Structure 1
């Protein structure tokens, strides 16, 4: 039994098994598409960063944060959360209609970003073939209240199961709109600025990733963006095919990509802690894990 620090979630959590899956990258792009439909949230991004110049950096920083929170030590995760809260406290955005300013760390905006992310992660991974039962999906959402806490939310106010998450989206749906800023994000995701030498790769690979992420959005998001998506059954087939293909790559090869959070965690805790989807099939073992006060699973 390892005596290393398992971090905020630990190897017996659903989060530990899911976040090492390669389909998380497509899920992250879906989250960007969804997040951009909240007018106040997307203004906070566009008005406080050179989005088109640094969108790749933003995506990689989000991936680094998720990796640190999932697989890092408790100290590293808390430090990452404190850094995010500190940055958000200093930023504000302006409503173009009224000129009124608001902080980007407003709880309703943080909650939207969190819910769009966890919904995207769970939706894409399940739809691409991850063996996540309804109980495991609920356990994952309960665990993710810990991630919400790190960015400044009250965990008790964050949806902790599928029913609460669905109710949240139904409540927020009337606030969503296709703003000029959302169009900007959409344009970037469809054709990101790329050095000339990489344009063929963008056409071959990235447009397929972005197309899959867009196709996996809910129908109301397609309606707002004004672009049709393939039939849901076709999107599901493509997600499953892509998932099977990516999962044939050796995990140790995938985890070599910087910043190598999974490899460091396994080195800290031992080889038996490697995340793997087959471990989700032992759902009774996972769900019987000791639950923390917020309902998250612990070692």
Structure 2
């Protein structure tokens, strides 16, 4: 399933959960309510079992996904137009729970480490992004006046589906709810002026993710996905997740040994080579640039840059 978090037309701030199907958005809460009614069950339990809100829905993890499949199949089979919205009449928002931790991994592709003239790390390089930085697939990347070296980084992002603490590598993928596309936009001048990267990594309205979350069952091997990035139609990055230095089970084991992960938390798994900083001469993002990141089996994330 492609689970979306959307804002209906003329309902500013009311973000609901849906599933994308045939250029329609099926509202999962309403679809499950209809499913219960059809089966002569109490429709009042829909709000608890398949909540409309992003936070409540993601907190239920796999249980909510299983019920969603039932409801969506029922809505499609019975052609229930009342629970389906035209895709063009909604705004897609980031697949991100309010208050979620966004943990990023640096230096996770060998060729990227090489182009940045750095060293292969012995342990995953971790940093964080805060909620002020996170935007959705239909938002514009804000270019702060504080930077002249804004750069793109196309990345596979994973979303945690259940509480994870001290998770072993062999069980790690059981904790993944799904995958999405991320752009770890980085202000290189701010990032590199101190040993800590944070100031260059979490500027306001700078980091888009989306356009939806593809449930983990549809991505049986997240370590064989082509990833490519174009800027204004010019291909800049082209790689495959098989080139991770630290794969996803290792990352979940490592991170969960230090930090308890909650449903809805996001891990950005690192970017391949081809960033603007490493080009000769360097090519940084300017007002009006269009960045398109495509990951096989996941989708396309496309955002413009605005000063």
**TM-score between both structures, scaled by the size of structure 1:** 0.27
The structure whose residues are more often strand, as a share, is 2
Higher helix share: 1
- Relative contact order (C-alpha < 8 Å, sep 6+): which is higher? 1
TM-score, normalization by structure 2: 0.27
